[in-house]
Amino acid sequence: MKRSKSEEKVLELVVREFRRIGVLLESDPRLPSVTAIVVGQPLRGSWWGHPSGRKIWRVLNRFCRRRDVLTTKLVSGKVTFVHRRLWPQFLALSTSREEWQTASLSPEASALLRVVDRKGEIRTDVRGLLKRGVPKAARELEKRLLVQSEEVHTERGAHAKILRSWRNWSRKVGFTRKPPGVEKSKREFERLLQSLNDTYAADGQLPWSNQSAQ
């Protein structure tokens, strides 16, 4: 019971910080993250081997199931949780298909994106899908915000991902608000991340900023 109560309090802290800021990373050595709240300090490297690893996993698992949490890779290509109030701005960006999303995509990623666009949702382990290069291609699409992804355990105990188009995801969660303009949405996330970078002496990057710097 003590552990359960402790986890409840930690989850409350995570939710409170998430609502206050609008975004949280899963883990980061400087920026606000779920793992930092759970263990009381930022972590460097993977949290899986940390003594509180199981507790982190349980809190993350419960947090991700909340209806106001969108999981993506918005900041520095890392798992980032976006609050529902920022979903319209996020969807404006993720569905824009601007050059920062589509330029220099590998042939495998482009082919995988066409399948997701056509079907709305696929599993990366589905029979008939070309397996060579799929994990890497899926990561490309995630980091360009071109798909929504969800990790699943297969019947054989392996890992796979469900990749969804943003239109399919919006329909699935019942989100119908009209997105604002792309440039306005960029500015909002840029201001938010700049404030966090300044506050925490961090260097978080947004995907379109990385692309323009290349």
Sequence-ordered list of residues with C-beta below 8 angstroms from that of 150, at least 6 positions apart, any chain: 71, 161, 162, 164
Residues 71 and 45 placed together within one structural domain of the fold: yes
- In a domain, residue 90? The reply is no
**157 pLDDT above the threshold of 80:** no
Residues 26 and 60 placed together within one structural domain of the fold: yes
Percentage with pLDDT > 70 across the chain: 90
Q: What integer pLDDT is reported at residue 130 of this predicted model?
A: 56
pLDDT in tens, 163-173: 999 999 999 99
Q: What integer pLDDT is reported at residue 2 of this predicted model?
A: 45
What distance lies between CA 135 and its chain's CA centroid?
Answer: 16
Nearest Cα residue to 194 out of 40, 23, 33: 23
Q: What is the CATH number of the domain that holds 109?
A: 1.10.10.10
The model's pTM: 0.91
Residues 128 and 61 placed together within one structural domain of the fold: no
According to DSSP, the β-strands at 69-75 and 148-153 are: unpaired
Q: What integer pLDDT is reported at residue 124 of this predicted model?
A: 87
Cα–Cα distance measured from residue 208 to residue 100, given in angstroms and rounded to the nearest whole number: 5
> For the residues 99-125, what does the mean pLDDT come to?
94
- In a domain, residue 182? The reply is no
Q: What integer pLDDT is reported at residue 155 of this predicted model?
A: 61
Counting the structural domains of the chain, the total is 2
* Structural domain span for residue 202: 2-84+187-213
Residues 102 and 52 placed together within one structural domain of the fold: no
